[in-house]
Amino acid sequence: MLYSSVNNEKIKNIKKLNNKKYRDETNLYLVEGEHLVKEAYENNVLEELILLENTNINLDIKTSYVTENVLKYISNLDSPNGIIGICKKKKNTLKGNKIVILEDIQDPGNLGTIIRSSIAFNVDTLVLSSNTVDLYNPKVIRATQGMIFKQNIIIENNLEELIKNLKQNNYTIYTTNVKNGNSLKTIEKKDKLAIIMGNEGNGVSDKLNLLADEYLYIDMNKNCESLNVAVATSIILYELDK
């Protein structure tokens, strides 16, 4: 089927997936580009493919073709690359021994980069506070480089409750604290652990900070106040994965 009009109801609904509200309602989201679409397919979250007319990609999935103006209408990119995937959100639950908890991360690039690093360093579950930038924001998805399909990610309204539960289940809770922490280089690495990382401007809130069992800092030159949160999270995960 070829769609050539931006007034078509189906096309308008696909376009609406660029808004968080409609993604939340439908549990669907868009990904763009061959690499991401193929990763989505391999990870069983691809529902439907939107292709520029007269192009092809070898995937066994329901496909709709669109004209260039329709593609531009749907796409989030300045230069659409002709391949858009409609994906379904996965339903996940907390599992595993290595958990990362993100409190109110706002920058899509930071969230996507953390997701990418979390796969690299064997994180089992990523927990996002409900005030975190939307996981299905196109910039987040691009920055994950496809790792969003591989990671077990849950969104949680009440992080305090979740952390208390983890403590009862013998997870050691780590967070960063420049003043009263121990150097990351010398920190004891527990088998069951969760790491809380905070918002770009404000860090971890006091109420979550108080729940931690271990405080750590990354040794650095005193001319630098702090690292980018995706960098800091990645260095901690790298070190704890040794």
Q: Which listed range, 71-79, 154-162, 206-214, 231-239, lies at the site for a second copy (CB under 8 A)? A: 231-239
Instruction: Tell me the C-alpha distance between 170 and 161, whole Å.
Output: 15
Interaction of residue 42 with a second copy, rule CB under 8 A: no
| Token couple for 180 | 């009263």
178, 203 in Cβ contact below 8 A? no
Nearer to a second copy, 70 or 237 (CB): 237
Out of 111, 116, 166, 176, the residue judged to bind a second copy by CB under 8 A: 116
Per-position x/- string for 204-223, each x denoting binding to a second copy as judged by CB under 8 A, each - no binding: --------------xxxx-x
Which phi and psi angles does 231 have, rounded to 5°?
A: -65, -50
Nearer to a second copy, 91 or 242 (CB): 242
Instruction: Tell me the C-alpha distance between 112 and 240, whole Å.
Output: 20
Residue written as token pair 């150097």: 183
Residue written as token pair 């995960």: 237
Under rule CB under 8 A, which residues in 127-186 are in contact with a second copy? 143, 145, 147, 150, 185
Out of 81, 92, 209, 226, the residue judged to bind a second copy by CB under 8 A: 226
Query: Among residues 151, 136, 125, 219, which one has the least CA distance to residue 181?
Result: 219
3-state secondary structure of 32: strand
How many residues of this chain bind a second copy (CB under 8 A)?
Answer: 30
How near is the Cβ of 231 to a second copy at its closest, in Å?
Answer: 4
Nearer to a second copy, 1 or 224 (CB): 224
